[in-house]
Structure formats: C-alpha cells, structure tokens
Amino acid sequence: MMKKGMGKQFDYCGLKNMEALKFYEQYVSSLLQTYQPSNNQYNKKGKRELSLEYSWVDEFQASGFEAKTDSITINVQLILTVYSLFYDLVNNNSPILNLSGITAQHKCTEKKIILCNPTNPGEIIFNSMYISDDPIRNNLAEFLSMYAVKFIVAHEFSHVYGGHTKYYKEVASKKDAEIKKIKSDKIKVLKYYLDIQAMELDADTFAATRIVMEALSMFKEKKIDIHLDNNANFLKIPFLAMHGVYFILRDKWENDGEDQEHPSTYIREEAAIGAGISALEQYEESVDHELILASLTEFEKIKGAEKDGFAEYVQKNCVLLHESAEKLRSIFLDRIAPIIKPESRMPIEGIDY
C-alpha cells in the first residue's frame, strides 16, 4: 500500500507564476535527452534540439514540426482546459476520490485563472477552476492534470522524433491536391487519410506507454507523495489522465468517419489503454481493463458531460474498435514503418522490435 501523504504544497498548479509551463519545457528536455544518440542506439541522425513553444490563440490544438530547429507547439488554452477539467472532476463533483479514500467535507471555490503571454501582455488566456481548501484533493487533481499534459506533449514528440513529420506533410499535400480535382480518386483520398490516421495512432500509443511507464517508475522508486489507498489505484492515474484528453477532444471534434486526419477518439483511446496495459504487463504489473472502464464512467458526472458514454460505447463496440485499431496498426507496420525508418530517431515497431 502506498504511504499516505499530503503531496507538495498546492500553488494553483504553478500557473500563477507560469511554473507549470516551465515544467513542461523541462519535460521535453528530458524526452530529448532520452532519445539522443548517446542514450539511444536507434538514433542514427545525430543530436537535435527540440523546443516547446506556446500558442496564445484561444484554441484547442497541439502540433509538432521538424525543420532547422524542431519544435512542439501547444495552445495554452488546451493546458488550462485540461487543468480545469480535473479540478472540476475532483473538487466540484468528487467522483474519483475513492482513489484516495478521502470522504471529509471540504469547501470548494470557483476561481478564474488568467494567464498573460510574457512576450505580449495583450494576449490573455483564461479559464475557471474549482479549488478546494483540502490540499489532498488539489494534489490528486494536479497529478491527473500533469499526466494528461505530458500525454499531449509526448504525442507531439513522437511525431517529430518518430520520423512522422516528413511523410505526414507529403501525404497531407497529396490528399489535399487529390481532393481539389474535379474527379478525385476516392480510393486514393481514403488511403492518404488512413496513412495519417495510422501515424496519429502510433503517436498515441507511444505517449500512452511513456506516461504509464513513468508513473510505474515513480511509484516503484517511491518518488511520489500522494494520498492513495493502494497500488492499483495509483496505476489508474495515467489512464484517467489520458481519458481526460480524449474527453476534451470528443467534446470538440468527434467524427466517426474514416475521411478525416484523426481516427475516432473511441478508437484512439481504446488503443492507448491497450498500449498502457501491455507496457505494465511487461513488468509484471497489471490493471484490469474493466476496472479502468468503470473508473472512466465517473467523468460523465461532470455537468454537461452526461452523454460521453465512453465505457458503454466500448463495451458495445469492442470488436469494431479492435478491428479498426488493428487495421491502422497494420497500415503502419506494412506501409509506413519502412518509409519513416530513415527519418526516425526512435525505434520503429515492426522493424526494431
């Protein structure tokens, strides 16, 4: 059983003094160091710098670019939305506090978090958050938010360092050109869409594996001071964090068709959960898939989210979701992996392992 603790002193997620944004810049640096040639035999392209930049446009996007100086860009509003979601979930709705066993009454206050672009004070992003007077609750929301943002960052890192970007741009350009034709070839267009979707799914599974393995490592090395009842509950945290990201994306963009650049979030999340569970099993740790799905239903208690229904959707469509994910995985292994291998600075599934 994990030692119960209070966690670090709560400070509005470090957002008041921009410490949270600096923290994720450090996270990119740690990923970069892991995959530099000195630590990674699969990096044959040499050392590269990679920066994390923030966009202050009020949107929900993240992207990765490979150029003279590689970069990842994340909208600050997306980060604030992630934090707002988990503080709402833990403090305003209290559905997942069974992770920590805390049942004491607490006072919850809605706070408006305002961030200004340090290089352009006129650019302002804001959102509301439910702050508790109980630091244990805030600490749990912090960990969930942290792993969710790390998942987003690792996804974009995978595009850049996994060799996706060059082929991604090439396929997107061909797809756009074909669509513009008076008599476009629908089979070609669908092939281009599926190639892009396969790379998106590959980035998801990389990011899922990264945050799950980081959580497992931190737990085994006893580096986390967080109030939880048992090991199984701790291992749920990265899965809950990923669900928060897909929960936000489902609300904004969900589309079930194949004629889009991102797979359905249902396909993506089920594949990410599978990747995380597989990663744990390699180290003789486990978390039950049904227990994860049961935990995720708690998100539906958030006001306005009653129709999310991810767990129910997965249970009803598990075969279809699995087949769709395997189709994209096969496309990646058979068609994409050999193409991106020369551009990748990381091991490629189907070739290196």
pLDDT band at 219 (very low <50, low <70, confident <90, very high): confident
Helix axes 186-220, 164-180, angle to 10 degrees: 150
Q: Is the dihedral of CA 198, 199, 201, 205 positive or negative?
A: positive
Rounded mean pLDDT, 326-335: 96
Backbone phi, psi, residue 16, to 5°: -60, -40
Contact 140, 87 (CB under 8 A): no
- Sequence-separated (6 or more) residues with CB below 8 Å from residue 12: 111, 113, 129, 131
Kindly list the domain boundaries of the chain, sorted by start residue: 12-343
Identify the weakest region by mean pLDDT among 123-137, 175-189, 323-337: 123-137
Percent pLDDT > 70 in the chain is 84
pLDDT in tens, 40-88: 888 888 777 888 999 988 777 788 877 777 889 999 899 999 999 888 8
| Rounded Cα distance, 149 and 137, in Å | 19
Q: What's the confidence (pLDDT) of residue 218? A: 78
Question: Which DSSP string corresponds to 31-83?
Answer: HHHHTSTTT-TT--S----EEEEEE-SSS--EEEE-SSSEEEEEEHHHHHHHH
Average pLDDT, the chain: 84
Distance between CA 169 and CA 164 in Å, rounded? Answer: 9
**CA 212, CA 267: separation in Å to the nearest integer?**
19
302 and 88 Cβ atoms separated by less than 8 Å: yes
pLDDT the model gives residue 154: 97
Question: Cβ–Cβ contacts within 10 Å for residue 93, how many?
Answer: 18
Q: Rounded to whole angstroms, how far apart are CA atoms 171 and 190? A: 11
Residue in 200, 193, 168, 209 with CA at minimum distance from that of residue 353 = 209
C-alpha span between 40 and 61 (Å, rounded):
30
pLDDT digits (tens, 9 = 90+) for 239-248: 999 999 998 8
Q: Is 196 exposed, middle or buried (0-12, 13-18, 19+ CB in 10 A)?
A: buried
For the stretch 175-185, pLDDT in tens is 999 999 988 89
What pTM was computed for the model?
0.91
Average pLDDT over residues 158-165: 93
Distance CA 280, CA 220 (A): 12
Report which residue type is found at 189: V
Distance CA(110)–CA(129), nearest Å, equals: 6
Q: What is the pLDDT of residues 86-129, one digit of tens each?
A: 888 888 865 555 565 666 788 888 988 888 888 888 888 888 88
3-state secondary structure of 100: coil
- Residue matched to tokens 């044959």: 44
In residues, how long is the chain?
Answer: 353
How far does Cα 341 stand from its chain's mean position? 24
pLDDT tens by residue, 286-306: 788 887 887 777 777 676 565
Look up residue 333 and give its DSSP letter.
Answer: I
**Higher local confidence (pLDDT), 235 or 33:** 33
CB 195 within 8 A of CB 264: no
Q: In the prediction, which pLDDT does 101 show?
A: 60
The pLDDT of residue 330 is: 97
**Beta-sheet pairing, 70-75 with 50-55:** parallel
